[in-house]
Amino acid sequence: MSLFTLFTRLRICCQNPLLSGEESGILASDGPGTIWITTQEILVGFSIAAAAGIFLAILIAWTPFLSRTLLPFLIVFNTLPKVAIAPLFIIYLGYGTFPNAIIATMVAFFPIIIPSATGLVQIDQDWIDLARSLGAPKWKTFLRLRLPNSLPYVFGGLKVGSSLAVTGAVIGEFIASQGGLGNVILSTQTT
């Protein structure tokens, strides 16, 4: 933000008066508080999405019945537009940081659970047969084979989920919020 302000004042970039005007003044008035509100929503939303997504992915991989029944429903629910569902959370949960964190959770949850469950379920059957022939119990096969095999999937899902948690928090602030970066963006558009 400081570089952007410096470049606009020196007329290096952004000759458009709409872009080079009051950005630094808006965030300077309540910048740390505004950023802190959005950061809280992002951290809470991503933490809940990561914990719930990985836990449910482990349950899906541990129980073949859940893998066959729950995973297709998760893929279908992933196709629903989260932005269209977000106002319902505001109606039922009210205004504030918590509903925005729940919206961030909802947006980040599906990109975490689907790859994590896929990585835990998709493993070469020869490795599973080898572990069983050596007498390994199911929990040891899970810890020594399935879990290490799924780590690229899990970290890929966490990477996508972390960026979508930011999007979800700002979307929640766009819809209904008294603070945060989304509220600052909306207030600058109306002035």
**CA separation for the pair 170, 179 (Å, rounded):** 10
pTM confidence score: 0.78
Predicted confidence band at 71 (pLDDT cuts at 50, 70, 90)? confident
Position 174: which residue type?
Answer: F
Residue-level pLDDT at 133:
86
pLDDT in tens, 14-46: 554 445 455 555 555 566 677 888 899 999 999
pLDDT in tens, 78-130: 888 887 888 888 788 888 888 889 999 999 999 999 999 989 888 888 888 88
Domains of the chain: 30-190 (1.10.3720.10)
Whether the per-residue pLDDT at 72 is higher than 90: the answer is no
Name the region of 81 (left: φ>0; alpha: ψ -120 to 50; beta: rest): beta
Q: Which two tokens stand for residue 160?
A: 């996508």
Q: Which two tokens stand for residue 45?
A: 């939303």
Structural contact between residues 169 and 42, judged by C-beta atoms closer than 8 angstroms: yes
Q: b or e along 174-191 (b: 16 or more beta carbons within 10 Å of the residue's beta carbon)?
A: bbbbebbbbbbeeeeeee
**CA separation for the pair 61, 146 (Å, rounded):** 9
Residue-level pLDDT at 156:
96
Q: Which two tokens stand for residue 176?
A: 């209904």
Predicted confidence band at 59 (pLDDT cuts at 50, 70, 90)? very high
Whether the per-residue pLDDT at 175 is higher than 50: the answer is yes
